[in-house]
Amino acid sequence: MTLHVGVHVSIGGGVDKAVDRAYNYGSTAFQIFTRNPRGWMYKPLKPDEVALFREKVKRFGYDRYVVSHMPYLPNLSSPNDNIYQKSLDSLINELNRAGELGIPYLVIHLGSHMGKGFEKGKERLLNAVSTALDKVDNDVMVLLENMAGQRNSMGSRFEEIQVLLDGLSSYSDRIGICFDTAHAFAAGYDLSTSKGVEYTFNEFGEFIGFKWLKVVHLNDSRYELASGRDVHEHIGLGYIGEKGFRLILSNKEIIERPLILETPVDKKRGDLGNIMMIWYLAGVKPPSNILKRWEEYLEKDPQDKEIYENYILKM
């Protein structure tokens, strides 16, 4: 078998350059922001870059393994009318942009009810998603991402996500779930032990159902279980740990999905190191074409060479 695993890559220099970066990492999947994630303003996609993006995705065989992520600022559950409308407009725009690029999935954060309660937040969120899907006629799926248990956040518990899915049942062909390991751990789902992983996936199956799972965000957690803090760590270096990821990756429902890493950018480890750790912890030997790209990359940037030599070459 093979894995479809990669990282969130930059679109700097043109959206098509993201595909080159993913390919150079030896990624078999990747995620992008289609624009600056920290602002409301954006420029239209350039037709020549869109054409190049689509051509490269097809040439490198990414197809169904590309993910777009909503910017950070939108809050689709906000009680503030101005923020809510801007957030809805952003969702509509991002659906259109993903459609232009031929990206099958758009991951959205479920936002915060800002102290107004889950029911009020649910009303806002369901209205936003249904309105956007009604207005944008394409094949892009909106993926609801589980949240990290921050105060007033929506969808940290699987029971809440079930309620949201029920409210969007008439859009079942355009709705799915993105499961984030760091968020689940921060929200109280113990992914560091065998009992905890078994419980978490049993709960996921009971309240949500794996048929809805389309993408997995694989991130370790810098803070302890049930911290309510959304701070990611390199794979195996956080509180989930190597043991936890071995257990997570032993689940066929997880390993068969696109696996996206959103790990830190620092001197401890590079993106390639985290990609290699997923292959290693999954116990899946990378094919020769992936190994070749890793070797070429490590010649230019040897930061993660130790992982390649001590883990990958000994598989």
pLDDT digits (tens, 9 = 90+) for 250-296: 999 999 999 999 999 899 999 999 999 999 999 999 999 999 999 99
Query: Is 232 part of the annotated catalytic residue set?
Result: yes
How many CB atoms within 10 Å of residue 130?
A: 16
Q: Which of 52, 135, 145 is nearest to 94 (CA)?
A: 135
3-state DSSP: the chain helix, strand, coil percent, rounded to 5?
50, 15, 40
Query: Is 21 part of the annotated catalytic residue set?
Result: no
Catalytic residue among 4, 21, 157, 183: 183
Grouping H, G, I as helix, E, B as strand and the rest as coil, residue 6 is strand
Distance between CA atoms of 122 and 174, rounded to whole angstroms?
A: 18
Decide if 204 contacts 155 (C-beta within 8 A). no
Specify burial of residue 28 (Cβ count, 10 A radius: 0-12, 13-18, 19+).
buried
Query: Is 38 part of the annotated catalytic residue set?
Result: yes
Would you say residue 213 has pLDDT above 90?
yes
**Tokens 């990492």 appear where?**
25
Between the alpha carbon of residue 109 and those of residues 84, 106, 125, 129, 135, the distances in Å are 13, 10, 10, 12, 20
17 Cβ contact partners less than 8 Å away, ≥ 6 residues apart: 10, 11
Query: Is 119 part of the annotated catalytic residue set?
Result: no
Query: Is 84 part of the annotated catalytic residue set?
Result: no
> For position 245, what pLDDT does the model report?
99
> For position 221, what pLDDT does the model report?
99
Number of domains comprising the chain: 1
Q: Is the pTM of this model over 0.85?
A: yes
Query: Is 72 part of the annotated catalytic residue set?
Result: yes
pLDDT digits (tens, 9 = 90+) for 92-135: 999 999 999 999 999 999 999 999 999 999 999 999 999 999 99
> For position 1, what pLDDT does the model report?
84
pLDDT digits (tens, 9 = 90+) for 148-201: 999 999 999 999 999 999 999 999 999 999 999 999 999 999 999 999 999 999
What does pLDDT average to over the chain?
98
> For position 288, what pLDDT does the model report?
97
Catalytic residue among 4, 21, 69, 97: 69
Distance between CA atoms of 43 and 10, rounded to whole angstroms?
A: 16
> For position 140, what pLDDT does the model report?
99
Query: Is 234 part of the annotated catalytic residue set?
Result: no
For the chain, the farthest-separated pair of C-alpha atoms sits apart, in whole angstroms, at 56
Determine the structural domain holding residue 118 and report its residue range.
Answer: 5-314
Query: Is 220 part of the annotated catalytic residue set?
Result: no
pLDDT digits (tens, 9 = 90+) for 17-70: 999 999 999 999 999 999 999 999 999 999 999 999 999 999 999 999 999 999
How many CB atoms within 10 Å of residue 293?
A: 17
Output the domain CATH number for residue 249.
3.20.20.150
Q: In degrees rounded to 5, what are phi and psi of residue 229?
A: -115, 125
Q: Which of 116, 32, 15 is nearest to 75 (CA)?
A: 116
Structure tokens at 55: 């051509």
Query: Is 230 part of the annotated catalytic residue set?
Result: yes
Confidence of residue 141 (pLDDT cuts 50, 70, 90): very high
Distance between CA atoms of 23 and 6, rounded to whole angstroms?
A: 9
